[in-house]
Each structure stands twice: as structure tokens, then as C-alpha cells.
Chain A
Amino acid sequence: MFLDILKKDIQRKKTMNVILLLFTILASMFVSSGLSNVVSVLNGTDYFFDLAGVGDYVVITQNKDSGVEEILKNSENVEEYWKEEVCWATCSDMSFNGEPLHLGNTISVFQALNDQYAFFDSNNHRLEKIQPGEVFFTVGVMEETGIHIGDEVEVNYHGVSMRLKVAGSVKDALMGSEMFGNKRFLFSDEDYQKLKSEESRDYTGEIFNIRVHDIGQLKTALSSAHHVLFEGERSMFSLSYVMESIVALIVLILSLCLCIVSFVLMKFAISFTIHEEFREIGVMKAIGIKNRKIRSLYMVKYLACALTGGVIGFIAGIPFGNFLMKSVSKKMVLGNDQGFLLNVCGAVFVVLVTIGFAYFCTRDVKKLTPIDAIRSGSTGERYKKKRKVSLKRSPLPNAVRLAINDILSSPKRYVTVILSFFLFSIFVFGLVEVTDTMKSDSLTYTFGKPSDMYIEASVILDRLPYNDMEVISEKGNVILPEMLTTIEQDLQKMNIPGHASVEMQYKYWVTAGEYSFNVSCEQNAYVDTSLYRFSEGSAPQNAGEIAVTEMVADDLHVQIGDTVEIDFGTEKKECMVVAYFQSLNQLGNVILLHQDAPTDMKYAAAYNDFQVDFDDHPDAKTIEERIKMVQAYYGSDKVKDAAQFCVDCLGVVDIMDAVKYLLLVITLVVLILVTILMEHSFIHEEKSQIAMLKAIGFKDRFIVKWHTYRFLIVTFIAEILAIALTYPITKLWCDPIWSMMGCTEVDYYFNPLSVMVIYPCIILAVSILTACLTVQSTRKIKCTDARNNE
């Protein structure tokens, strides 16, 4: 009989059982994929770097005779090291459709595959072989240049010319991130040997990956090496993936949100179905079946549901999790060594929680009595009065009043919906706010002195007989002023009064007591340093004063008023720290030098876009017009405003946009699912009321309005809450991320149109449309159903 009751229950209450099963599947899918993704994201770059073969310390040299290998060989501190041979090139050494590749002001690396260091394809498989005539780009380069697989590029490198087919994109642990300036191009062994001609001998270099006991000792030992272009700890390379990590972190938060929502909904579904059973439970009690037996009957049902849902959710969670990870880790290999074990654990966890919830909810079986069966769930006892909107007083239409009444009468179930919608909305709005901030000029000050217009160096280099490599060399002392003069002369021709300047990045050894580091120092020698923005202290007034970021201050253990020694190459100089400033350059590891500091282009590492300040301080509209004029003059769109400059510097706005839309889509899918499932539950529960309303003359339209208004109201509440809390909540989760990148105080750009109108309206519209479409099923409920239903 026990099984018969169960069988009948499953057949008769098909709708509610299917709803419960769907909730369990969703929970299992989200939790199993979420758990695996959380571990993958927490593993972060370490997993990727281990797979690729990145050492504890990395040294990149510009010349084979750097002496680094000798130091490593003779150091007992070094556990092991492996090196890659590379050719240094400029991006313009490679062209596509007759146009040189413009990848910012960066130096590129040409090299072949080797055994020690691994590159990965889009499926995270190691790239084993490159055929002659083929070249592989990093994912970032593919995105930036718009070149596709199968396109042909031309290489003209120190007298060697070849046409190569772009065979694919790779994930490169060391140089694959947007924040790492140098781009790597991979050639076959045969083609690479051709590139290594006698003429290019001076442009070869090495990349050393070193496994070491004491990094501090190694740094000191390496101070005698020459031609070191870059050196840094593994953690520094990890930091260059901070934006990718942020995106992955978003997936982590999303997974957690999905888990929370799943459990909240499942609790609702179980509790709801149990309370739907009052008649059956009452009847069973009336005929003498004991509580324990009744409870076990429902437990068997929920166990079957949990197991089925768990298994289906586990299977569905694998592609879902992979899809999420793939969409956010285009440049990284995110993963974990546990394989599907975590997915299994997630699914098992959901099954256990479902059973736990079911056990918890079936406690109510004890409360239900035979009277419930007789009196339709009411024992005649008076409970707390329900809050209501009286029809006789409210001026609202009937359907709205009924909807409000329902929400006020059963707040718990609607809080479930509000919480689900709120969680996702606030997350979407937060991401919108962060992306809008990245697209605005709010962050300009973190990339140097804010200017009116920015011009990429390639625009000017195209008009002069120089290349990037020459600019960042001793010759730069002459070339750079010539480039600035060219810009100013061009501006004069256009009758635009303005001055050009450029911010240079130098690498200098900076010593403060026992602490000594190779630090990036920035200087715009053509503007007054007081035009920078400082968070504390006062602007450097002379060459002996500097400003530091809080990160550098922490590393060097200095504060305002302390003195550090900077080895400018040409001279060593004592400089006093007079201010703190914020910078997203070099992930905040930057010192700002006074415009008169004794820098030399010989020690230059990179330079930013050329900056133009208009002398007549025009308004925004005039700036925009002038930028268009300059763009037309140079025939290039690489003349930009401050906002576009920030977008280019951050380099992740496109990814953030993609993640934002992905999140919006997931939010809408969850919202649609929740709305459909909840609305079906409500319709199921209110079938007799709907039939009665129809019987006494209410039209289908009224029922549709009544049910749709409920979702409109709860979604509206969720959206208002989300809008109100977007700023503080975004600050809460995003500020630590900015500070990891070197910026502790961010002025978020609040775009009321997107945060208050577009996105809330999309969510609201989808919710209303889904509710409206779902409630159409009530049209099938007939007046005569009033007599068939409880």
C-alpha cells in the first residue's frame, strides 16, 4: 500500500513533483559546477603557471651576453633553471594586408617552441608542434589585431622576409596577459632559424625561468648582470593576470549566488509541496497511519527526487561549468587536479541538503491533524492576522490590490523571489557600474597626468623614420623631443593651441635601508609634476623629491618624509618621499619622479601614448571636435580622448563587457526559470480560487493581470533594493580588487541610464513577460474546476 500511495502521489501531483525535480536539478547543476569553478578560480594562476613551467623568478635579457647564466650556474641558491632563446622585434616587423601590426608601443618576442615551457590552445591542450610556414599568436594579439586563423601575415625582420599562415592562438602564461606589455609570436623551428640571421644577432635575448631557494639572495646576485630588460617574481606575473582573475572571481561569486538561490528555491519547493499535502496527511492520520510512516512516505519521495535531480544536475553541470570557465579564461588555463570529483561532491551535497530540507520540512507532518483534511487545512484556530490592503479603501485597480494582498499575506514565499532577483540584479548592476567606470575618464589620473587628448606613438612613428626599439634607447633622447615637436607643429597647422608631452617608464634600482628593488619609475619631463593627483602629501618640487604608491611604500618600508636612493644609471641620488599617489601602471609598483629628475632614455622601459593639453582649456564638446579633427588629419582612430585612453590602458573592458552580458543572460535565464517554476506553483495552489473567480464572472484577462502584477511588484522591489545598494555593495567587493591593482580609492562612475533604467528595465520586462506567458496556462482552468478542486 505504501508504494501504491507513493505511485499515485507521483502521478496525481505531477506538476508539483516536476517543479520540485526541476529545482533539485538546477541546484545540483549550479552547485556541482560552482564548486569545481570555485576551486579552479582559487587555484588561480598557480595551476596555469605550474602547467606552463614558470619559475619562481623570471629574468628576461635583451642580449645573449648578459652574464645571467653564469650567475645562475655558480649560485648554490639556484635549484634549477631553464631558458628560452628569443628574438626581440617590434610589432611593425610583422604586417597584415600590407599594414604593420600596431599593438600599442610594445616590443615583441619571436621564438620557437621548446620542451621546458608550454603554451596551450583554446582547449587547454599543450601546443606540441608548429609546422613550417605557420605562426601562432597569443589570444590577446588575435583579439587586438582582429586577425583570424587562416589569415596570412608577412614578416620582415632584419633582411629576412617570409609569409606565414596564422595557425591558431595560444595561452601564454608569461606574456599572455593584457597587462604584460611584450607580445610573443611563435614560429616553427625551421622558420625561427631563418629569422636568427647574422644581422639580428644584437636583437636576440633569453628568458630564464629559475627555481630558487632564496629570491632575495638571487636578486642581489643578479645586480651584476647586464642587459636585463625585465626581472620579477612569479607573483608579479600572477598579478599581471589580475583582470582575468577578477573575471574569474566574478564567476566564483556568480556560482555562489546560483548556489544560494538554488537552496532558497528548493527549500521553498519542499516546504510548499508538504503544505499542499495537508488533506492526504490528515486522511492518513484519520485512518490510523502513524507519523513516522507518513513521514517516511514523503522522505522516500524526496529521496527519489533528490537522487534523480542530483544525477541529472551533475551531468548537466559539467558542460555548464566548462562553458562558464571557458567564457572567462580565454587567456588563462583555469582548472584543478580533482577532475569531476568536485562536481560529484557538489551533486552529493545537494542530494544531502535536499534530504535534510525534506526531513526538516516533514516535521510539519506532526502538526497536521485529521481536522486539516476535513476543514481544508484550517483547524479553526486563530493565528496572527494577515496584513491586508482593504479593497474598500485602496484606490488601486482590483488586480493590483489582490496582488499586493497576496504578497503581504504570504511574505515568506515572495521574499524568496525578491532575494533571488535581488542577488542577481545587484551583481549585474555592480558589474555594469565597474564596466562603466572603466569606460569613463574617472580612472585617467591612475595612468598619469590627465590630458585632453592622447595619440598613440605609432601614429607619429608612421610619419618619422624611426621605430619603437629606437625610441626606447639612447637615440630616444633625440627622437622623443622630435616626435613631440612634430605633434605640436601638426596641431599648429590645424589651428589648435596645444602642448604635447609623454610619460616615460624607467627601471631603476631603488634602495631604502636594507630594502633594494628594481622599481618602475615614471616621469613626464614636459609637464609640471604638480599637475598629477596625490592622495596624501604635496607634489614633488624638485629632482630630489618623489611620490610613491602605497604598494612601493610598503615594499621599501618608507613613508612621507623618508629618503630613498635611486640609481639613475648616470648618477645615484637621494630622493625624499613627499607624497603618495595612486597608479594602475605596473600594478601600482611605481615611483613618480619630478620632471627635472636626471633620467636617461638609455634606461627607458616603455612609454605611454603622447598626451596633448589644449592651452585654451576648451569645453568637452570642443575637445571632442578637435579629436575628430586630429583623427582626420592623421587618418587614424588612434587619436583618443581620456576615456578611450583608460579603456586601452586597462585592456579588459571588452572581457568585462562580455562577462557583463554573460552574467545578464544567466541572470535572465535564472529569472525566467524561477518565475516559471514559482508561477506554476502558485497556479497549482490557487487553481480553485481561479476557477471560482471565473465562475462568478471574472475574465481570463483579470487572472493574467492579477498574477503578473505579483511578479511585477516583487521584481520592482528587488530592482529598487538592488539599485539602492549597488554602490555600497560594489565598493565592498570591488575595492579590494582595485587595491590589488594599485588603486585604493576609486571614483566609481555612476551612469544613471544603465544602472537605473536600462538593466532594471530589461530584468523587469523579462520577469513580467515570463509571468504573463506562464499565467496564460490559467486559461485552461475551467469554471467547472471549482467543484473538482480542493
Chain B
Amino acid sequence: MNTNTKSNKTILEVKDLCKTYVVEKRQNNVLMNVNFTIEEGEMVAIMGPSGCGKSTLLYSVSGMDVPTSGSVKFAGEELTNMKADELASLRLDKMGFIFQQMYMMKNLTILDNILLPALESKKSEENKAEKTARAEALMRKLSIIDVADNDINEVSGGQLQRACICRSMMNNPKVLFADEPTGALNRASSTEVMDELVKLNSEGTTIMMVTHDARVAAKCSRVLYMLDGNIKAEYIRPQEEGLTEKDYERRLNHWLMELGW
């Protein structure tokens, strides 16, 4: 099922990444010398028990959070030296985000929510009509065109998360960061959303996602397992022919069990 279009060109390079929180004068080392790279076109899942630093890692490498030390290179650019505004521009133009909670502007329609980052971005030379057409095309692709003019409280969770995916794709990001994208969805919606992400990946979008769900992670080309602030193991999806999705899930579950999951 997975048709990764990995190009062997590094899009994200993380070296000795540390993140320490100080809570009531006590240091809490959430990330400790994390090292990994992601190639263009990869779909990487980060797994691990609660509190191991998965989301912190995602936010640190996407420029949303400032690491304590270490280096994060995104498409060759060092993020840790960038100013807040430069990071914001980078996130707007070159990255896409999907959150567990389907955060949207509550006073905008679904279509307007999707359109908002595209209208704010100066990256594309498209006019508003073209951007709107592209947003509608994306919605059509993800089968939510019917709810384009609905309020956000008038659609299901699955539709809302697909709208979030559309929004994240509006500026043609190089990498799509997803934090538990199916975490708040039921099984059917979860499958729908994952199918869409896989489809996007197959079309060339690099995806890095945090997930607890082995069924979701099984669709990724690589799984990084985190424990106590560091990457403890790496799982690469087998390339053998004839394997079904169930087989992939079974093998990943087996690997996770060995790690004590």
C-alpha cells in the first residue's frame, strides 16, 4: 500500500537536540541529544510512551518551540539561529501542521479556514480566485467540498481533520508535521484521515507524525521509537512483496512489544 517516493535528499537533519524545561527550579530534560534525519518524501512516525518527549521533539524540529541546544537543519537552513518572524514565515510557507485537536478559527467557515494561510502567504503569485479554486480542489480531493460553507461546529470530527489537512497543504509545504492526527477521531474517521495522508505522501509530501496508534504508524516508511527523551530504536517498513496491511501492522506490533510497548 505504501508507495514512498523517498529521494535520498535530506529535508530535516537533527543533531544533539536537547530540550530542558525548568519547573519550580527543577530541571526536566525532555529531549537528550536526539539525532536523526528525514529524507524528502519519507513518512516517519514517532512513537513512544506518554511523556517520552514525542510532541516536544515535533515542536522543536518544526520551529514552534525553541530547543535548549543542538542543531535542526530544515532544507539546509539552521532553524535554531532564526528569529521568531523568520521561523513564522518558514512555518507558513514551507511547513504544514495538523494537530490532534482540530484547531480552527471558530468564526470562519471551513473554506475560509483553509484559505486563510494561503491568503496570508506571499510565497505564491496566485490571485485570490486561483487560491480559492485550489482550496476547493483540495476539499474535493478530500471529499469535504460539500461542507465548504459550513461553520466548524457543523461538521464531523473526521471532516474537520480533513479540513485541517487541506489547510496544511494550501501553501504546498515541504514537510507536513502531524501531532496525533487521528488521536481525537473514531476508527472510521481515523482510517479516512490516514488514507489521505498516505495519498499525500505518495504524491511527494514528506510527513513526520507523532502517534500512539500502531495501525497508523504501520503505514509509515519509518518509525522512530522514543524513550526518556531519546530515540531508542528505529523500525523500517519491510519492502517484501505480497505483504498485506495486516502483516505490516503485525510486524510493527511485534517490534514494539520487543521494546516493551
A interface residues, Cβ below 8 angstroms from B: 376, 378, 380, 382, 385-386, 388, 390-392, 398, 402, 405-406, 409-410, 688-689, 691-702, 782-784, 786-787
Contacts and interface: CB of A to CB of B under 8 A. Distances in A.
Interface string B84-118: 11001111110111011101111111011001110
Q: Which of A406, A694, A784 has the most CB of B within 10 A?
A: A784
Contact of B168 (A410, A691, A696): A696
A410 B92 contact: no
B112 A697 contact: no
B153 interface: yes
B107 A784 contact: no
A392 B103 contact: no
Contacts of B120: 398, 697-698, 702
B107 A695 contact: no
Given A695-B97, A787-B179, A382 B154 contact: yes
A158 B53 CA distance: 100
A391 B96 CA distance: 20
Nearest to B108: A405
B109 A697 contact: no
Nearest 6 A-B pairs (CB), nearest first?
A697-B92, A697-B91, A783-B64, A692-B103, A409-B107, A378-B153
A399 to B, nearest CB: 9
B235 interface: no
A689 B88 contact: no
Interface in B176-199: 179
Interface in B51-103: 55, 59, 64-65, 84-85, 88-93, 95-97, 99-101, 103
A223 to B, nearest CB: 78
A398 B128 CA distance: 12
B206 interface: no
A708 B168 CA distance: 27
Contacts of B116: 391, 398
A406 B128 CA distance: 21
B162 interface: no
Contacts of B111: 390-392
Contacts of A701: 85
Which secondary structure dominates where chain B touches chain A? helix
A696 B93 CA distance: 9
A697 B117 contact: yes
Interface of B: 55, 59, 64-65, 84-85, 88-93, 95-97, 99-101, 103-109, 111-112, 115-117, 119-121, 128-129, 132, 151, 153-154, 167-168, 179
Contacts of A694: 64, 88
A695 B100 contact: no
Contacts of B121: 697
A314 to B, nearest CB: 39
B64 A695 contact: yes
Contact of B128 (A380, A385, A388, A392): A392
A698 B100 CA distance: 19
A390 B115 CA distance: 10
B24 to A, nearest CB: 15
A406 B108 CA distance: 9
Given A380-B153, A402-B105, A388 B59 contact: no
Contacts of A380: 153
Nearest to A387: B107
17 contacts: A378-B153, A382-B154, A386-B151, A398-B116, A398-B119, A689-B106, A695-B99, A696-B91, A697-B95, A699-B85, A700-B84, A701-B85, A783-B59, A783-B65, A784-B64, A784-B65, A787-B101
Nearest to B171: A697
B132 A405 contact: no
A388 B117 contact: no
A405 B97 contact: no
A107 B199 CA distance: 100
A380 B152 CA distance: 10
Contacts of B100: 787
Contact of B119 (A391, A409, A786): A391
A695 B243 CA distance: 38
Contacts of A388: 107-109, 112
B115 A392 contact: yes
Contacts of B99: 692, 695, 786-787
Given A390-B112, A784-B59, A696 B117 contact: yes
Nearest to B94: A697
Contact of A782 (B65, B90, B153): B65
Contacts of B59: 783-784
A47 B128 CA distance: 70
A389 to B, nearest CB: 9
A442 B132 CA distance: 59
Contacts of B128: 392
Nearest to B132: A392
Given A398-B119, A406-B107, A696 B153 contact: no
A392 B112 contact: yes
Q: Which of A382, A409, A787 has the most CB of B within 10 A?
A: A787
